[in-house]
Amino acid sequence: MRCSLLQCTALKRNHALYPQLHSYCRGKPTCKNCDTTSLITPHPSIHTPPGFSHFLEAYQEIPNRERERPLFLSFHTSLSLSQQPPHNVSATAMSPVSDVADGDTGDLFADPEDYYPPTPPPTFQTHTLSSGRVLTLHLVGYSPTEAHHLWNGSRVVSNYFEADPTRVKGRTVLELGAGAGLPSLTAGILGAKKVVVSDFPDVDIVQTMQKNVDEAGDLEGIVVPKGYVWGADVKPLLEALHEPAAATGGYEKKFDVLVLADLLFRHSEHGKLVDTIRDALVRRRDGVAYVFFTSYRPWLRHKDLAFFDVARERGFLVEQVLEEKLEKPLFEDDPGDVEVQKTVSGFEVRWPEELLEG
């Protein structure tokens, strides 16, 4: 088998990085799930440009089942996810379509046109509400951000809202990393005042969220799709609320409810997720972030749970409110403890009393 990293077309065209990687990897036994641990701290004789280690770290965070699709793994996208761009690499060198940067290797490492599988087509799944209403949830064919899955956490959050509609009724809601946006659609149906359903600002992802809102039939103007990168300025999200500070008791209007469903496996992003909670969650007693997740890699559950350590360090209160075991795991062929993979844990993150406003 050939090394997955070496088969990444976007990286191959990034001429500032690929020759070093090729020199280091070629000739080594590799497989489609190659272990890149040794590449994080490469041999001293191998010069790695700024940003190279961030790409490899992002690559390691991708579940093994997704490493089989190196064509769709973009160095540029990985850096966007980590929000740590290589300052000394030119835009031309970073471009996944550049063939004119210094050091162009031409077709030296080119693969046959039909070497890679075609981009998977969009898919859809359904979810049935307690009322019997069936929601059709469209998904992108593939995304490095994992937006092509309907995660178990999303279904459980949706059910959690249905069990007590007052959790969202008449309130403003922001969902992060929404993918199909099931919790957002459910919140809108249950009477939320305004819902911003957000995910990585990729055209296909945002358009897919909009399609799900449109097909729900009665959520226009209530559920608003937005592209958003975790940790970035939340003002574009807050603008959807359209309420001046004077109308909200003298403090800036923010969201009453945040939803984070199955995002904690992105360990390097925990700090940015907490930053967004800090900037977007209203400082009232009823302001709450619902953080539901499954440890799809059971051996890394301690890293998933580390998110709550970050939240506590930033001054938030954390309380577990749910643990639900499903009939089967989302990925039935994945390695690890199946019982852990079937379990969805739900937590509430709130402001402490001394930091409340209004």
pLDDT tens for 44-103 read 443 444 444 544 555 455 455 544 443 333 333 333 333 344 444 443 334 444 444 444
Nearest to 166 by CA among 249, 278, 281, 257: 257
User: Position 329: which residue type?
Assistant: P
Q: Find out whether 261 is annotated in a ligand binding site.
A: yes
Q: Calculate the average pLDDT of the chain.
A: 78
Q: Find out whether 188 is annotated in a ligand binding site.
A: no
- Note the pLDDT of residue 161: 98
Q: Find out whether 104 is annotated in a ligand binding site.
A: no
CA 314 to chain CA centroid, Å, is: 21
User: Position 316: which residue type?
Assistant: F
Angle at 198 between CA 192 and CA 202, to 5 degrees: 150
- Note the pLDDT of residue 336: 93
CATH homologous superfamily for the domain 123-355: Vaccinia Virus protein VP39 (3.40.50.150)
Does the pTM of the predicted model rise above 0.75?
no
Q: Find out whether 299 is annotated in a ligand binding site.
A: no
Q: Find out whether 177 is annotated in a ligand binding site.
A: yes
Q: Convert the pLDDT of each residue in 326-354 to its tens digit.
A: 999 999 999 999 999 999 999 999 999 99
- Note the pLDDT of residue 118: 76
- Note the pLDDT of residue 144: 85
- Note the pLDDT of residue 148: 93
Longest dimension (CA), the chain: 66
Q: Find out whether 178 is annotated in a ligand binding site.
A: yes
Give a three-class secondary structure readout of 108-177.
CCCCCCCCCCCCCCCEEEEEECCCCCEEEEEECCCCCCCCCCCCHHHHHHHHHHHHCHHHCCCCEEEEEC
Predicted confidence pLDDT, tens digits, the chain (358 residues): 334 444 444 444 333 444 444 444 444 333 333 333 333 333 444 344 444 454 455 545 545 554 444 333 333 333 333 334 444 444 333 444 444 444 455 555 565 666 566 778 999 999 999 999 999 999 999 888 899 999 999 999 999 999 999 999 999 999 999 999 999 999 999 999 999 999 999 999 999 999 999 999 899 999 999 999 999 999 999 999 976 555 554 445 899 999 999 999 999 999 999 999 999 999 999 999 999 999 999 999 999 999 999 999 999 999 999 999 999 999 999 999 999 999 999 999 999 999 999 6
Distance CA 299, CA 335 (A): 10
Cα separations (Å) of 94 from 78, 88, 146, 245, 268? 12, 10, 23, 42, 22
- Note the pLDDT of residue 80: 38
Quick check: helix, strand or coil at residue 340?
A: helix
Q: Find out whether 51 is annotated in a ligand binding site.
A: no
| Contact status, residue 14 vs residue 77, Cβ threshold 8 Å | no
